[in-house]
Amino acid sequence: MLPAGETPAAAASNRPHWEVADVFRSFGEDYRRVHPLPWLHRQVMHDIEVCRTAVLGGHLQQCDCCDFQRPCYNSCRNRHCPKCGSLQKARWLDQRQAELLPVGYFHLVFTLPHELNPLILANQKVLLALLFQAVAHTLLDFGRTHLGGQLGFLAVLHTWDQTLGPHFHLHCLIPGGALSFDHAHWIWARNNFLFHVKALSRVFRGKFLEGLGQASTEGRLHFAGSASSLATPESYASLIESLRNKDWNVYAKKPFSTPQKVLDYLGRYTHRVAISNHRLTSVENGQVTFTYRDRKTGNTRKSMTLAAEEFIRRFLLHVLPNGFMRIRHFGFLANRSKKQNLSRCRQLLGVSAPPANPVAKSALELMRELTGVDFSRCPLCHRGTLIVIQILPAAAPSPLVPRMDSS
């Protein structure tokens, strides 16, 4: 009988040899003993450690043609877990497919200057929400002044770079046009150009700094940890002045030519975590080695080795505040009016609406589409179907970690 989730054919080739869970199991207890952690960080570590293990329970499968059996343990469903999210991503992508319009799509990336990192880490909920707000107001303003209508777009927050350092940026996916304010016209954008990135950068900088000033005036900023050096009026004013005189980074990637390419992009970016298990190459002797792409040398593949303590510290930098939404929709794609606006856009573009009530796909169907693997097929005889023959109960909840919402 194979370990949870493994198959004879795929276990050796597809399953990562090392996992973030191995780091937490081996070094997490010592890390928590030395470093006082908020409950949310302790919860994330605990969930990743027990994900797809007997602790969470599961079920026993057996082939209906041969004697093959395997246990399948439940996932932790924590959004920061490298082993979770595949099914959620598949469901989300299936829903987004019905929302795509037959137009080109633009991809813009708005990045906050690294000088803000200490302040953001001390005020994640306030300043990451401000990042969404500043980007949304910037794009909606440009849609109004340059196209004469309302843009619609999706924004995805990423907080990391390839070496797990803090790198706060939004990926924005924007249909190539706008809905006129009277809903009478679709206003096309140019095929290979949306807005000047330098102009976007200046407006984005102004709106973020305006919001930052308001948060400071209202006393909503804290100066804990590495941000303590900014607590004096002089040091804070110096930071703001340097940010005003700095060019902020707004990057326009190559436009997507077809809706399918948009879906391919969404599948890569929307439900990522800070690091995937497949990037880990070694966890031993108190050190963690992983691969990364070095953008300074043309995205060449390199390796980095960190002390396990430093690896855990960097990983936890990217745990988002409880309940914070990292994927948001704006403009004519905002949730409150998305259905009606999309219907009108399709009418103006002369395309039919998707089926009103499509049959919901099963988890197995979604995973087959996402991975190309039929998880119901017996991996031993390749003829039979795996059926559940026994429910495996979960262990008692850990008294050390209270259950929290990790959505």
First vs last Cα of the chain: how many Å apart? 33
Residue 203, domain member (yes or no): yes
- 44 lies in some domain: yes
| DSSP-assigned letters across all residues of 368-398 | HHHHS--TTB-TTTSSSBEEEEEEEPPPPPP
**Angle at Cα 94 formed by Cα 92 and Cα 97, nearest 5°?**
110
pLDDT score, position 132: 98
At position 30, the amino acid (one-letter code) is D
d(CA 250, CA 200): 7
Residue 379 sits in the same domain as residue 323: no
Q: Is 172 a domain residue?
A: yes
Collapsing DSSP to helix, strand or coil, 233 comes out as helix
Does 128 map to a domain?
Answer: yes
Question: Are 61 and 72 contacting, i.e. CB atoms less than 8 angstroms apart?
Answer: yes
Total of domains in the chain: 2
Rounded distance between C-alpha atoms, residue 80 and residue 160, angstroms: 13
Question: Residue 341's closest CA among 181, 176, 155, 144?
Answer: 181
188 and 253 together in one domain: yes
By the 8 A CB rule, do 108 and 172 touch? yes
Q: Residue type at 396?
A: A
- Which residues form the domain of 142? 99-274+317-349
44 and 110 part of one domain: no
Residues 169 and 254 reside in one and the same domain: yes
Residue 198 in any domain: the answer is yes
- The structure tokens 């996932």 sit at 75
Contacting residues for 172 by C-beta, under 8 A, at least 6 apart: 107, 108, 109, 110, 135, 139, 153, 154, 155, 156
Same domain, 44 and 159: no
Amino acid in position 154: L
Same domain, 121 and 264: yes
What is the model's pLDDT at position 76? 93
Q: Residue 74: what pLDDT? A: 93
- Same domain? For 46 and 143 the reply is no
184 vs 371: CA distance, rounded Å: 42
Q: Under a CB-based contact definition with an 8 Å cutoff, are residues 200 and 250 in contact?
A: yes
Q: Please tell me whether residues 226 and 138 are part of one structural domain.
A: yes
Cα 108 to Cα 22, 69, 114, 253: the distances in Å are 36, 48, 19, 6
Q: Do the domain assignments include residue 403?
A: no
| Cβ neighbours for 313, distance < 8 A, ≥ 6 positions apart | 31, 35
Same domain, 59 and 151: no
Per-residue pLDDT, 396: 67
Q: What CA–CA distance (Å, rounded) separates 387 from 393?
A: 17
Whether residue 201 is found in the same domain as residue 244:
yes
Query: What confidence score (pLDDT) does residue 1 get?
Result: 40
Task: Tell me, yes or no, whether 67 lies in a domain.
Answer: yes
Give just the sign of the alpha carbon dihedral 395, 396, 402, 407: positive
Q: 129 and 236 in one domain?
A: yes
What is the C-alpha separation between 159 and 339, in angstroms, rounded? 30
Going from the first residue of the chain to its last (407 residues), give the mean pLDDT of each consecutive group of 10, the final group possibly shorter. 40 71 96 95 96 94 93 93 83 82 92 97 97 98 96 95 96 94 95 89 98 96 93 95 96 81 76 91 96 91 97 97 94 94 96 72 75 87 94 75 43
Query: Would 365 be classed as within a structural domain?
Result: no
- The rounded distance, in Å, linking the Cα atoms of 144 and 106 is 17
Whether 74 and 146 map to the same domain: the answer is: no
d(CA 18, CA 150): 47
The pLDDT score that the predictor gives to residue 357 is 57
Distance between CA atoms of residues 187 and 202, nearest Å: 25
